[in-house]
Chain A
Amino acid sequence: MSGRDYLGEFEHIIVLALLRLDDRAYGVTVRQEIEFRTNREVSIGAVYATLDRLETKGFVKSHRGDPTPERGGRSKRFFRVTAKGVAAVNRTQRALQRMTEGLDLIRTYS
């Protein structure tokens, strides 16, 4: 297994947001979900740059929705996590758990 099979921090957050949103996941909802859950202002460019990277790696897939009037007649680009993406999240989660095992983070560093 190579190091590339793990997700970076922001990649990890994005994939988790996609899993939470399920079939409602597109640029706006992903950005808002991350802002809501992490209290961190995220730009739409950062979201798309990361999603493009994840798509290149085969972790997510995208498809176009229908054009809507509130978007000036532009279509939404919906994203979905692939089986390979789910496996990558699990691997990353397990690696993080193993790394934090036995560390009393709250008591030691607060």
Chain B
Amino acid sequence: MNDEILIPEWRFIPLETHNAALNMALDEACAHALAQGKVDPTIRFYRWQPSAVSIGYFQSLNQEVDIQECQKQEVDIVRRRTGGGAVYHDYDGEITYSVIAPEKMFEKNIVESYKQIAQNIILGLKKLNVHAEFVPINDLVVSGKKISGNAQTRRNGILQMHGTILCNVDVDKMFSLLKVPDEKMKGKMIAAVKERVTSLNHHGVTNYQTIYEALKHGFLDGKKWNEGEWSDEELEKAEILAEEKYGHPKWIEMR
């Protein structure tokens, strides 16, 4: 058998910026196209403009998000199709990636596959002299403090995992947008989160382009890949999903 067939060729979509609904819609449109064999397994990086709060599939919008505050601060709200927790995606504060590929390329065990994909982030951060480790279920920590959260779904034989790497975290802003289980404890909780979370600027890394390049290497080194772009079909599907699903109150307020 020809070895070429065995080595998957990846499509790399360079860093791009969209609103929350389109960012989530592009992930799903890509997974859909890949399931139909129309595109290659894909790695992408993206930012959120306007900044946005994303909530996990199983979370209650009203329990997790201060909707009025988001409107006041012009922060988008979107529900992901993956589980996990609420995330504040600050335009300047983090970078998001997605890996969309056939399930069979990864460990069958879901937590093991988190670990497998997290290695890309670990390698990327290592290039910045930041030493991260994977902590099950879905986090990466540096010196015990969380720097990255990740979430995946598997549908129609396709694994889609996305996650954020914190570049410059603003915990106060984050908690101005998110609700906590016990509002009376909010002050204490913010203090505790400040102790438990870190970002790359705390480790002397502040240049966004440098971070992006390092992560790009972390994800792509050792892989066969081509820089690519979205197909017309993916873009059309994503526009529809952004309007009718991810940007629609029926989905956002579903739970």
The answer to whether A and B interact is no
Chain B positions near chain A (C-beta within 8 angstroms): none
Chain A positions near chain B (C-beta within 8 angstroms): none
